[in-house]
Amino acid sequence: MDARRITGQTKIMLLLADPVSHVVGTEAITAFMRAAGHDFVCVPVHVGPRDLAGAIQALRGYRNCVGSGVTIPHKIPVLPLLDELTDRARAIGSVNCIRRNPDGRLIGDNVDGAGFVRGALEAGVELAGLRVLLLGAGGAGRSLAFALAEAGAAELVICNRDPAKAAGLADAVGATYPSVPVRTGAADATGFGMIINATSVGMAGKDDSRLLDFAKLSADMIVADIVMKPERTGLLQAAEAKGCRVLFGRQMMDGQLALMRDFLGL
Ligand code: ATR
């Protein structure tokens, strides 16, 4: 399919973000859907928090839109604007993918966490039995926490700049997965099998050295960052220098693509 050709037949997916300059997932989504034979394009749209409700309302009337992705900072605020949520999105309390039904109804799902687990498995990383330190309790962090518990992590420790959000998330995951020990804790890598950065720190090349003490990383740890741009955040560079196995943000994105396709009904 000619990648430059966008017509009235083309199925459009939006990706609402603020800022929008860091967004690279649209290319991966477009390439994946086109490779599957769909006349499809995913378009990044810069929408600030005050305009989110208007953008969601407009989406209801865009008949050639199959839906929209949502990313920073909209994953949680978008919840009450939708008509329906999947069970998963409701439990997680955050949405990253919206399907527009032909009647204009909007259904929210969240495939961040499931995509992370799938991406890790595709890279040969088995999450079951791992002690995991999760940095971040925002929209993506919430999704990852639920998916890690479902994947059978041996223990999950959540650390967030706003500790109340970490505590609320630990309670919610613990209530849904009572067999998984979940607690809040400090950003200290010591003793963990896996460290995941699910914050936006490190995005656009920003200094992420205060996220945790990189000196405490050791070669037996798996280190993941959900940030896609740059590909190698400071955390991942430090992890590679220590000989750790690393997982890139792109691998989590790739893990989500088939899940998004199925959810959008393509
Ligand atoms: P996303 O959808 O990607 O998760 P989000 O819901 O806006 O985006 O969450 C951003 C995450 O990055 C949160 O965990 C946030 O911490 P707070 O909950 O305390 O806001 C974290 N974050 C953003 N900027 C940060 C910073 N400068 N230092 C530490 N954490 C930061």
Say how many Å lie between the CA of residue 259 and the centre of ligand 1.
Answer: 24
* Ranges of CATH 3.40.50.10860 domains, the chain: 11-110
Q: What topology is assigned to 113-252 in CATH?
A: Rossmann fold (3.40.50)
Atom of ligand 1 nearest to the CA of 142: 4
Taking the centre of ligand 1 as the mean of its atom positions, its distance from the CA of residue 210, in whole angstroms, is 14
Quick check: pTM over 0.90? yes
Q: Residue 3: pLDDT above 90?
A: no
Residues with a known catalytic role: 75
The predicted-structure confidence for 94-130, as pLDDT tens digits, reads as follows 999 999 999 999 999 999 999 999 999 999 999 999 9
The answer to ipTM > 0.95 is yes
The set of protein residues with a Cβ atom below 6 angstroms from ligand 1 is: 71-73, 75-76, 136-141, 160-162, 165, 199-201
Q: Quote the percentage of the chain above a pLDDT of 90.
A: 97
pLDDT band at 85 (very low <50, low <70, confident <90, very high): very high
> What is the per-residue pLDDT for 263?
98
- Protein residue with its CA nearest to atom 11 in ligand 1: 199
134-184 pLDDT, tens digit per residue, is 999 999 999 999 999 999 999 999 999 999 999 999 999 999 999 999 999
> What separation in Å is there between the alpha carbon of 22 and the centre of ligand 1?
15
CATH of 11-110 given 3.60.15.10, 3.30.310.50, 3.40.50.10860, 3.20.20.80: 3.40.50.10860
Domain with CATH 3.40.50.720 in the chain: 113-252
Average pLDDT over the chain reads: 96
Which ligand 1 atom sits closest to the C-alpha of 141?
4
Q: Which atom, in ligand 1's list, is nearest to the CA of 136?
A: 14
pLDDT digits (tens, 9 = 90+) for 35-53: 999 999 999 999 999 999 9
3-state secondary structure string across the chain = CCCCCCCCCCEEEEEEECCCCCCCHHHHHHHHHHHCCCCEEEEEEECCHHHHHHHHHHHHHCCCEEEEEECCCCCCCCHHHCCEECHHHHHHCCCCEEEECCCCCEEEECCHHHHHHHHHHHCCCCCCCCEEEEECCCHHHHHHHHHHHHCCCCEEEEECCCHHHHHHHHHHHHHHCCCCCEEECCCCCCCCCEEEECCCCCHHHCCCCCCCCHHHCCCCCEEEECCCCCCCCHHHHHHHHCCCEEECHHHHHHHHHHHHHHHHCC
Whole-number Å distance, alpha carbon 199 to ligand 1 midpoint, is: 5
Query: Whose CA is closest to atom 29 on ligand 1?
Result: 161
